[in-house]
């Protein structure tokens, strides 16, 4: 029987050849995301791409939903997917793109480029004083998956002291100087110059970074979030930066996206915000990586083999 595969990624001809290479007896439909209808979603066995969760309605025909994202929050809520659907994500595709973006934000804040940039509007020639060097920086990375490990590799290559914080025990890896479990976070925070979070949105991560957390940070500390916005209590963060209890924050994700123009986070000079663009397909190789993951999972499905990147509904991470 012909199997229907709906692909909503912005693929090129060469990507299509890769997806179809070993997929016989399949009918591929390539539909740009805005043109996808609920009916298309209902009548397919495999979907590659983040179709609106509301279109799925626990369709029993859907055997594999291969997301184009690492985050799976929209699809793990009860009732979205049938128990017959396997959910796989694109963990591994975004490591370079997101880590480099967050690292650029870090250097920008360390060198105060965000303040100098604001002076463009008035053409002012102000001096914002001392800066810090990555070589003397103690960085705690919360969430040590693909993105966190990439970030660790960059920071370590430039001479930072890197502390990795994970959910599960593992050996110390080449890219990190120390590795700890989540429980150790309160002990690590007061000694860290930089804390960068790559946590997904799950009940366990909701507002993990709260008033107490920020009170625990160094006054010179920099907080970065490249995971999900709702891990942060934004009011607590804003107060900490405003009252100079921490130096600054770099956020590619916020709680509410887009962040409304009147939101007070915009008004604080020492908060650097980018509109959740570190991932996407802004680095062309990210899409190559996603297509490769999807192609392998389509092959696994057809061959009856286990899938890669299966999402754990409890954690929102890859299993």
Contact footprint for a second copy (CB under 8 A): 96-97, 100-101, 103-105, 107-108, 110-111, 113-114, 116-135, 154, 157-158, 257-263, 266, 272-275, 277-278, 280-285
CA distance 287 to 8: 12
Order of strands, sheet of 46-48, starting from the edge strand that comes earlier in the sequence:
26-30, 3-7, 46-48, 64-66, 86-88
Give the shortest CB-270-to-a second copy separation in angstroms.
11
> Least distance (Å) from a second copy to the CB of residue 317?
25
In terms of Cβ atoms closer than 10 Å to its own Cβ (0-12, 13-18, 19+), residue 63 is middle
Nearer to a second copy, 132 or 300 (CB): 132
In the complex with a second copy, the residue whose CB is nearer, 38 or 107, is 107
Closest CB to a second copy among residues 151, 307: 151
Question: How close are the terminal C-alpha atoms of the chain, in Å?
Answer: 31
CB of 229 to a second copy, least distance (A): 13
- What minimum distance in Å lies between the beta carbon of 218 and a second copy? 16
Of the pair 87, 287, the CB lying nearest a second copy is at 287
Tokens of 213: 């957390």
Q: In terms of CB distance, is 60 or 256 closer to a second copy?
A: 256
Query: Least CB distance from residue 233 to a second copy, whole Å?
Result: 20
């Amino acid at each position: 029987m012909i199997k229907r595969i709906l692909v909503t990624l912005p693929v090129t001809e060469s990507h299509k050849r890769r997806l179809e290479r070993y997929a016989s007896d399949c009918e591929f439909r390539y539909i740009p995301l805005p043109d996808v209808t609920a009916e298309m979603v209902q009548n397919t066995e495999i979907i590659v791409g983040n179709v609106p969760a509301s279109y799925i309605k626990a369709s029993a025909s859907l055997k594999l939903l291969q997301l184009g994202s690492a985050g799976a929050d929209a699809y793990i809520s009860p009732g979205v997917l049938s128990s017959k659907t396997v959910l796989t994500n694109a963990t591994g595709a975004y490591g370079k793109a997101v880590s480099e973006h967050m690292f650029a934000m870090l250097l920008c804040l360390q060198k105060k480029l965000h303040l100098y940039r604001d002076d463009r509007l008035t053409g002012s020639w102000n001096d914002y004083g001392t800066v810090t060097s990555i070589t003397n920086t103690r960085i705690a990375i919360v969430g040590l998956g693909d993105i966190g490990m990439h970030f660790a590799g960059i920071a370590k290559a430039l001479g930072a002291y890197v502390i990795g914080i994970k959910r599960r025990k593992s050996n110390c890896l080449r890219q990190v100087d120390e590795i700890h479990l989540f429980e150790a976070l309160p002990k690590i925070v007061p000694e860290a110059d930089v804390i960068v979070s790559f946590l997904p949105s799950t009940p366990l991560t909701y507002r993990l970074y709260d008033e107490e957390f920020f009170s625990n940070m160094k006054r010179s500390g920099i907080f970065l979030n490249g995971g999900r916005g709702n891990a942060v209590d934004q009011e607590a963060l804003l107060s900490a930066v405003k009252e100079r209890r921490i130096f600054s924050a770099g956020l590619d994700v916020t709680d509410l996206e887009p962040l409304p123009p009147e939101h007070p986070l915009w008004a604080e000079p020492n908060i650097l915000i980018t509109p959740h663009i570190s991932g996407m397909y802004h680095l062309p190789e990210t899409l190559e990586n996603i297509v490769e993951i999807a192609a392998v999972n389509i092959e696994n499905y057809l061959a009856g083999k286990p899938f890669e990147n299966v999402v754990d509904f409890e954690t929102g991470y890859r299993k």
